[in-house]
Structure 1
């Protein structure tokens, strides 16, 4: 399934704390959605389980795309439990629904440059989305959504599951089918996050994430190319922050396998980040594996 979300879940680490203590990132994890990411399913109740492993090969030094010196690695494994309800009601000509995400996260960090060696597990910040709108045309789908990442998880250690602040998230996107049989598709899903202040009064800058997918049907199976880009679009604010802004870009491939008799889809995707630039704090660069289970009830 596809739609907003998502989304999903929250990578515990999209940046390490800088000297000023600000994280230049939001809650949303790029790479959670791919093929037909902007297509909302028909009315019904859906469970989506996203199992994600982000392997950090290195960190970029603050304000640059230069590799941080020394041995600096990490692994973030997350299971994002997402429930989506698409009602039989219409709003603005679209199917109306709502969603919620509860991520469970395990993070291990070894960042010698910052003197950090820490591993933690826990429930991450919860997402509540009271607005999901899905439109459907003969050869297109579109989605719009809005929700809030809550500040519900622990932030007591470097590898803790929480971000330490709330984020409002807006989502929009479209899928285009290049033929009447809908066997070839292209999609783009864009999310905007406006982050709140943490307990120290620091505010990470706003973030835009774009996920895309190009796919073709091979019988019942779908396969294609996927990718993501993520940009910090406003500067961090608060003591110790600067005007630097982070970004990352990745590409990969995805396979979608339906199990019609069980009302399920299985998805697998792999991404490699080609470029990453740090903002106020050090920023990870690595590769991501995602396995998704979609179950209709």
Structure 2
């Protein structure tokens, strides 16, 4: 009976485990933004490529911080292609822009308790953001944004790249420079997701993600301490839902190096220090991220 319950819970999880958000119940994955996360670039067209590898060491059992029994793990490797156009127009005193994210990913999952071993590659759910606002002060930057994660990718198999539902995402953040030369900075970026229902009628609760960074410039390079936290802010609903809410917290480090004018490379490593599952099993692991920022 216990094994069947675990298997059922794992199958509910796997209905939404495939995108880069295999580590979260919403679409957005923490750890892709760090140093100066809330600083919007000046007018122009930009490409940001986030290459992420999330190594799942274990799955937390529903409603606890204990691991599911047996050998369970997986990896998610993804290239999230983000396109940003800052139009040069002003809205509410801010630079106005639009953006889109197209993730390509490879997901491998093994959950012995459910008899699942699956690997898939494909295009994940696409994000469309018609509103990006960036403000700039003498020693600060701020951002506000809104958009929708589409239910556009396949959910046929456990490791398919789709989540199986739409999400509305709101963003707000601040970067502050502690000196006039802008060599020391602190940043915090918050994402709020309102998740929709999947085809089975299950709805993950709303989720808040906070990414933060403290960084110091050493010549052209920056190095800093980074981290992220996620909290489920409302209850799940539908078959299998409970009153338990999920959360996770991670700490890491980041390096930023400008390769050439208009081209920068960033690298970060995160270790999840704690994770507690809600209605469904929750992955816990470590994340490595390499990102490229190119201005055109």
Q: Distance in 2 between matches of 1:236 and 1:114?
A: 22
In structure 2, relative to structure 1, the CA distance for the partners of 1:118 and 1:22 (3 Å cut) is closer
Q: Please name the residue that 2:266 is paired with.
A: 267
In structure 2, relative to structure 1, the CA distance for the partners of 1:180 and 1:83 (3 Å cut) is same
Q: Please name the residue that 1:3 is paired with.
A: none
Tell me if the contact between 1:207 and 1:234 (Cα under 8 Å) persists in the aligned partners: yes
Equivalent position SS for 1:199:
coil
Q: TM-score, normalised by structure 1?
A: 0.92
Tell me if the contact between 1:22 and 1:236 (Cα under 8 Å) persists in the aligned partners: no
Q: Which structure has greater helix proportion?
A: 2
Q: Distance in 1 between matches of 2:202 and 2:27?
A: 15
In structure 2, relative to structure 1, the CA distance for the partners of 1:149 and 1:180 (3 Å cut) is same
Q: Distance in 2 between matches of 1:48 and 1:217?
A: 21
Runs of 4+ in 1 over 6 A off after TM superposition: 19-24
Q: Distance in 1 between matches of 2:13 and 2:101?
A: 31
Q: Distance in 2 between matches of 1:149 and 1:74?
A: 24
Q: Please name the residue that 1:232 is paired with.
A: 232
Q: Pairwise CA RMSD of aligned residues?
A: 1.5
Q: Mark the runs of 5 or more structure 1 residues left unpaired by the alignment.
A: 1-14
Q: Please name the residue that 2:51 is paired with.
A: 51
Deviation at 1:16, TM superposition (A): 4.7
Deviation at 1:114, TM superposition (A): 1.8
Deviation at 1:241, TM superposition (A): 1.0
Q: Distance in 2 between matches of 1:295 and 1:21?
A: 35
Deviation at 1:240, TM superposition (A): 1.7
Q: Please name the residue that 2:3 is paired with.
A: none
Deviation at 1:145, TM superposition (A): 0.1
- Aligned residue runs from structure 1 range 59-138, under 5 A: 59-138=59-138
Q: Distance in 2 between matches of 1:199 and 1:67?
A: 28
Q: TM-score, normalised by structure 2?
A: 0.93
How many pairs align? 282
1:31 aligned to 2:25?
no
Q: Distance in 2 between matches of 1:20 and 1:33?
A: 26
Deviation by residue 1:86-110 (Cα, 9 ceiling, x = unmatched): 1110000000000000000100001
